[in-house]
Structure 1
């Protein structure tokens, strides 16, 4: 059973995921902050870490850009959850591929391990990430040879819809790509849950 929780800003919707899985406390989550490395603004990384800990999860950091193959394999296979932060989607995809973490991550998700993505960690699951260049700078990933995503969903999540500072760039993505691909815009107060192929949009209580 595939379990994907796709968020824009995880800290705002963390409680919704906690409601979904009452047995979350005490489990370990592989925390991948790689996408944030090229970014100047990274407050969301610490916000996510605190939100996961408040849910009762044990946060086990995995920086795939520097980790060994053995460390990547050990953490992704043995921890009960996978969490990937926001940041630059192109850099994230580059490092997942370069390190081989993409293959292990996909294997574990298909075996039923819950995956939580935030912004870039959400977009990277799409069939192709070229559409997000209005939000993210592709130049952050000089060695990325293809924009083909991890292709775990058949739609194109568009995070931060209606939220600053991405309000204008999200609208630009819609105006450029809405006739070409199946965009799924959602705000910081929402998440897209994909449970065994069934797609639902959930909202956090304000």
Structure 2
């Protein structure tokens, strides 16, 4: 079974305490609803399938709380794809999915975040404003606390044609409160307990030892 993935699009964060036997993923594409960039959600599904992982798509902005709880409970992997981080976090909090995800990851489920999904996993998302329109998450009312699954904060898309300049501004400005980690579109950062490692990928996902 896959223990870690790296993706050649958007920067990726993998957080796991125990991921052996992971064969079912719940894919949350919500961040992409308001994104100006078309996101390859179908490609995520296909590439996970190559690793023997079946996928259930869960749109948390329209699903009921019971549907969200059931889907997360049944999955071994919580996969959160990219788009607008502020809209994503707004919907995670509004639906209660934020608490459910945190509880299940603490119990050992694998979390994979692409771009916005990686940013949302950290302690706070305000730093990503130069890259994402925070007005898309007006319902947050200034509460930018993230899922707090990891202590670090991913800065995705470094060197990217569309978002590279925004990533540079974020890194240049810095944030004394946060442990900012720069990722290109061909890198992932794996977090397992207190250990972190950056993984380079030449193409798509790959299985790690």
TM-score (norm 2): 0.85
Measured in 1, the distance between the counterparts of 2:49 and 2:5 equals 17
Per-residue deviation, 1:158:
0.5
1:87 counterpart residue number:
83
| Offset of residue 8 of structure 1 | 7.1
The 8 Å contact of residues 34 and 64 in structure 1, kept in 2 or not, is answered as yes
Q: Which secondary structure state, in structure 2, belongs to the residue aligned with residue 9 of structure 1?
A: coil
1:74 aligns with 2:84: no
- Relative distance call for 1:179 and 1:165 in structure 2 (3 A) is same
Residue of structure 1 equivalent to 2:9? 9
Which residue of 187, 191, 204 corresponds with 1:190? Answer: 187
Q: Structure 1, unaligned stretches of length 5 or more?
A: none
Rounded Cα–Cα distance in structure 2 between residues aligned with 1:120 and 1:23: 26
How many residue pairs get aligned? The number is 196
For the aligned residue pairs, the C-alpha RMSD in angstroms reads 2.5
Q: How far apart, CA to CA, are the structure 1 residues paired with 2:92 and 2:46?
A: 24
- Contact between 1:7 and 1:117, CA under 8 Å: does it hold in 2? no
- Residue in structure 2 matching 1:202, options 171, 193, 199: 199
Structure number with the higher helix fraction is: 1
- State the partner residue of 2:96: 100
Q: Return 5+ residue gaps in structure 2 as ranges.
A: 204-209
132, 152, 161: which one aligns with 2:158: 161
Shift of 1:142: 1.7
TM-score under structure 1 length normalisation: 0.86
Q: Distance in 2 between matches of 1:51 and 1:203?
A: 17
Quick one: which of 141, 162, 175 aligns to 2:137? 141
SS of the equivalent of 1:150 reads: coil
Residues 35, 83 of structure 2: 8 Å contact kept = yes
- 1:65 equivalent in structure 2: 61
1:143-191 deviations in whole A, cap 9, x for unaligned? 1120111112112111111122111111010111255532100111110
Deviation string, structure 1 residues 7-59 (Cα, Å, up to 9, x no partner): 6727x98xx9xxxx7855xx221010000010132233222222212222111
Question: CA separation in 2, counterparts of 1:100 and 1:4?
Answer: 26
Moved more, 77-86 or 48-57: 48-57
Q: 1:72 to 1:111 in 2, by over 3 A?
A: same
